[in-house]
């Protein structure tokens, strides 16, 4: 989950209305006994891969060792491999024995600038350079489990190559947590470099392990599952003057204060909160140098979140309108930049694909597939799902013995997940890929 993430989950909102038709789908048949046996035989290796990657974490766009491990594994399975995609990404192409669509499966590879505090025999002792400083490096968001799971899925599906009606693309993605300053990266760069082409991808699936959701469960949200995330900058320009005679200038501090107040009316008065949550946050205000000077400029920086493309566009328009009109009323001017440095689309689960996927997952984890509220964190899987139908879900990683309120958060030194859920992750992604290929028999576009 990106540094743009925010946990815990938001309120149920409009999902209640969708629960019945989605949950009412009859469970899909379980994986065949032969496929189940393959996965069971692999589980110990998946855990071993995860521990190795966890012990050797790498920051975004620097996942050299992880990429080499993945590429070697895929090549050993006879899968076509392309490396150095979006800097350190790896793409594997498994062509089935029969014609059919192309499905993509994604796993993110990067770790975070966090020093691990968990007492594990495979705990990270690694360090790296982040923003010019030496930092501890840790898989504090579970991307190590995602890589290990997808390596397992690749091995299972490669063993079924002859019977696959279509093609599977394995997207091992760097820099989900954001590229280093001055660099491009992540899913956005992978899309730009053409990973959804040649062959054209018809659908994409991804998962994220969750330290808060109980192990053994699968958790999903239809439509807007995670929010768009756009940062913004409002530069308020006034006229500098002596603090003893403010009437001789135009006060950007006072103007900025009025803008902040007005911005916080947008969510409550322009967004239908019975449908979706939204966020307008001011995270930083900078201006002035001393107590007796009315400064010339004040800078506001913050984040905007929405759970539908329409709400996202509306919030952008309203922020501009509010800032410009409040400034004009105070005699000031503004420069509004949206986005400023970050722009993630809504992580949108295609409705038809979600219905199909939920039925499949019920066959993999009967009674353990749960509809959950959306969250206002962001995920750059959204760049894939913006281009082709996508489905993104959460895999439980909280030990059953740990209460939800006691589970360590993502992006913290104490982050921990139960490895007992990794086999379910392999089963879920394998089943989703097989079902999609078998139920969409026509070749891809």
In the listed set 287, 305, 337, which residue is the last one of a domain according to the structure? Answer: 337
Tokens standing for 135? 């930092």
Taking only the tens place, the pLDDT of each residue in 259-308 is: 999 999 999 999 999 999 999 999 999 999 999 999 999 999 999 999 99
In a domain, 6, yes or no: no
CB-neighbour burial class of residue 367 (10 A; exposed 0-12, middle 13-18, buried 19+): exposed
Question: Which pLDDT score is estimated for 2?
Answer: 64
Same domain, 184 and 83: yes
**Residue in 23, 30, 110 with CA at minimum distance from that of residue 62:** 110
∠ CA 51-54-58 to the nearest 5 degrees? 145
Question: Which pLDDT score is estimated for 445?
Answer: 45
Question: Which pLDDT score is estimated for 16?
Answer: 42
Same domain, 331 and 239: yes
d(CA 76, CA 362): 32
Same domain, 182 and 146: yes
Question: Which pLDDT score is estimated for 441?
Answer: 76
Bridge-partner residues for 127, per DSSP?
Answer: 136
- Ranges of residues in the chain with a pLDDT under 70 are 2-30, 442-445
In a domain, 326, yes or no: yes
Tokens standing for 182? 């001055």
* DSSP character string of 171-182: EEES-TT-PPTT
In a domain, 2, yes or no: no
d(CA 72, CA 62): 17
Task: Give the domain extent around 435.
Answer: 15-227+346-439
pTM of the complete model: 0.92
**Residue in 108, 204, 119, 196 with CA at minimum distance from that of residue 148:** 108
d(CA 160, CA 167): 12
In a domain, 7, yes or no: no
Same domain, 246 and 126: no
Tokens standing for 197? 């082409």
Same domain, 261 and 309: yes
Determine what percent of the chain falls in helix, strand and coil, rounding each to the nearest 5.
35, 25, 40
Could you list the active site residues? 344, 419
In the listed set 278, 309, 337, which residue is the last one of a domain according to the structure? Answer: 337
- CB–CB of 6/372 below 8 Å? no
SS3 59: coil
Same domain, 77 and 175: yes
Tokens standing for 258? 């009025």
Question: Which pLDDT score is estimated for 29?
Answer: 57
Q: What is the mean pLDDT of the chain?
A: 94
Q: Please report, rounded to a whole number, the percentage of residues in the chain having pLDDT higher than 70.
A: 92
In a domain, 189, yes or no: yes
Tokens standing for 379? 């995920």
Question: Which pLDDT score is estimated for 72?
Answer: 98
In the listed set 315, 337, 359, which residue is the last one of a domain according to the structure? Answer: 337
Same domain, 152 and 34: yes
Question: Which pLDDT score is estimated for 11?
Answer: 43
Q: In sequence order, which residues have a C-beta less than 8 Å from that of residue 100 and are 6 or more positions away?
A: 164, 165, 166, 167, 437, 440, 441, 442, 443, 444
d(CA 35, CA 37): 5
Bridge-partner residues for 93, per DSSP?
Answer: 80, 169
Residue 104, domain CATH: 3.40.630.10
Answer positive or negative: Cα dihedral of 351, 352, 356, 357. Answer: negative
Question: Which pLDDT score is estimated for 290?
Answer: 97
Same domain, 298 and 385: no
CB atoms within 10 A of CB 188: 20
In a domain, 288, yes or no: yes
d(CA 125, CA 139): 11
Half-sphere exposure of 347 (CA within 13 A, CB side): 28
Q: Give the total residue count for the chain.
A: 445
Taking only the tens place, the pLDDT of each residue in 417-436 is: 999 999 999 999 999 999 99
Same domain, 179 and 44: yes
d(CA 114, CA 140): 7
In a domain, 353, yes or no: yes
Residue 301, domain CATH: 3.30.70.360
d(CA 165, CA 180): 40
Only one residue has tokens 């509010």, namely 322
**Residue in 187, 146, 145, 156 with CA at minimum distance from that of residue 79:** 156
**Residue in 315, 225, 307 with CA at minimum distance from that of residue 268:** 315
Question: Which pLDDT score is estimated for 20?
Answer: 42
What domain count does the chain have? Answer: 2
In a domain, 445, yes or no: no
Bridge-partner residues for 231, per DSSP?
Answer: 303
């Amino acid at each position: 989950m990106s540094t743009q993430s925010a946990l815990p989950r938001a309120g149920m909102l409009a999902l209640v209305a969708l629960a019945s038709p989605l949950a009412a789908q009859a469970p899909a048949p379980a994986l065949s006994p032969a496929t189940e046996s393959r996965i069971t035989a692999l589980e110990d290796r998946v855990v071993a891969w995860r521990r190795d990657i966890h012990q050797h974490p790498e920051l975004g766009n620097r996942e050299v060792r992880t990429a080499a491990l993945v590429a070697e594994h895929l090549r050993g399975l006879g899968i076509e491999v392309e490396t150095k995609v979006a800097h350190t990404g790896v793409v594997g192409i498994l062509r089935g024995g029969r014609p059919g669509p192309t499905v993509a499966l994604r796993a993110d590879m990067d770790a975070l600038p966090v020093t691990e505090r968990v007492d594990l025999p495979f705990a990270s002792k690694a360090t790296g350079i982040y923003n010019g400083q030496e930092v501890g490096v840790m898989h504090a968001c579970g991307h190590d489990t995602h890589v290990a799971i997808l390596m397992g899925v690749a091995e299972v599906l490669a063993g079924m190559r002859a019977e696959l009606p279509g093609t599977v693309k394995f997207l091992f993605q760097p820099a989900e947590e954001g590229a280093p300053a001055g660099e491009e990266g992540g899913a956005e760069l992978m899309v730009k470099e053409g990973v959804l082409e040649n062959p054209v991808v018809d659908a994409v699936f991804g998962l994220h392990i969750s330290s808060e959701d109980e192990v053994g469960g699968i958790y999903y949200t239809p439509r807007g599952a995670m929010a768009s995330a756009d940062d913004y900058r409002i530069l308020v320009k006034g006229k500098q003057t002596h603090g003893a005679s403010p009437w001789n200038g135009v006060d950007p501090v006072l103007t900025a204060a009025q803008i902040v107040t007005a911005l916080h009316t947008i969510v409550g008065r322009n967004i239908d909160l019975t449908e979706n949550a939204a966020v307008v946050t001011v995270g930083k205000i900078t201006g002035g140098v001393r107590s007796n000077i009315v400064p010339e400029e004040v800078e506001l920086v913050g984040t905007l979140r929405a759970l539908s493309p329409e709400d996202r566009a509306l919030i952008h328009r309203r922020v501009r309108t509010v800032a410009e009109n409040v400034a004009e009323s105070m005699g000031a001017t503004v420069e509004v930049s949206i986005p400023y440095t970050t722009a993630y689309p809504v992580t949108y689960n295609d409705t038809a694909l979600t219905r199909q996927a939920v039925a499949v997952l019920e066959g993999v984890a009967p009674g353990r597939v749960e509809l959950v509220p959306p969250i206002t964190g962001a995920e750059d899987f959204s760049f894939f799902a913006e281009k082709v139908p996508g489905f993104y879900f959460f895999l439980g990683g909280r030990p059953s013995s740990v209460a939800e309120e006691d589970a360590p958060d993502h992006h913290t030194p104490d982050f921990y997940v139960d490895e007992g859920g990794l086999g379910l992750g392999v089963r879920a992604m394998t089943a989703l890929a097989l079902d999609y290929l078998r139920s969409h028999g026509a070749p891809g576009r």
